[in-house]
Structure 1
Amino acid sequence: MGKKKCRLYSSEYLQFGFAASPANEHLPMCFEKVFSNDTMKPSKLKLHFTRCHPDKNGKDVSCFQALREKLMKRRTLSSTLSCLSRRDRDGLAASYKISLRINAMAQDVEDTLCSWLKQSEFSLQVDESTLPGNEAVLLAYVRFIREEHFVFIS
């Protein structure tokens, strides 16, 4: 038994409506259907083309080139997933930035309030309460006067 001949995709196959497969450039692809090495004989490709795609018979090669370009430009699963993962990654980074900014603002407010309390007289009331889930909450109420404004913080 002789060695099996391995045929490669040829640009001549474009006249029958076959383009190179994006996954394997050595195999022909006809309108999203990839063919095996056995069917790469021009006679079999022509037979498939006339039987399965009679509406495309007689069209110019430029029409098939346009179809090939359209096929190559379409979105693949990997490009869609990479786009989605990039969007998720960007959303996660934005969420971390917002969280850091909120924490920085809270720290700034706390520092400002503590500096005001260190410089003035204030009253402090501490109370304990419970939530419906039997969780204890410690409440602190601070009252002080700042630039003729009465400030109450809980």
Structure 2
Amino acid sequence: MAKQKKPCRQYSSEFLTYGFVEPPSNKTKPMCLRCQDKKDLGLVASYKISQLIAKAGKPHTIGEELILPSISVVFSTVMQQSPQQITSCIPLSNDTVSKRIDEMAGDVENQLVALLQVRNFSLQIDEALLPSN
């Protein structure tokens, strides 16, 4: 007799009222905010914060110097939780932020190249702009 598999619960936005969010890795299984795999969320947060740093044109060191301490203040003051558990799983060092920005830029470039390879387009070049003129 084969063991039946339990049906997987689908995520619903109504779960937010109970403290559950949609996990980044498994979209069908609700994830508790208190007992989630902090490394997954830390990685996602690291990429999103790195994107904000890049858009703002700020030095990459601002992640460790300003953002992580700000997150700590929010968690300890507003949510009355220990900020060390949360901030320790969000890598925002200068090298990490730089690497994340480079990875995202490379991905955007790859998407653009893939888009241009399947579309027809033309270029019009004015002769006055050529370096030999």
Question: Which protein is bigger by CA-based radius of gyration?
Answer: 1
Fold agreement, TM-score > 0.5: no
TM-score normalised to the size of structure 1?
Answer: 0.24
Which has a greater percent of strand?
1
Give me the TM-score of the superposition, normalised by structure 2.
Answer: 0.27
Query: Greater relative contact order (Cα 8 A, min sep 6): structure 1 or 2?
Result: 2
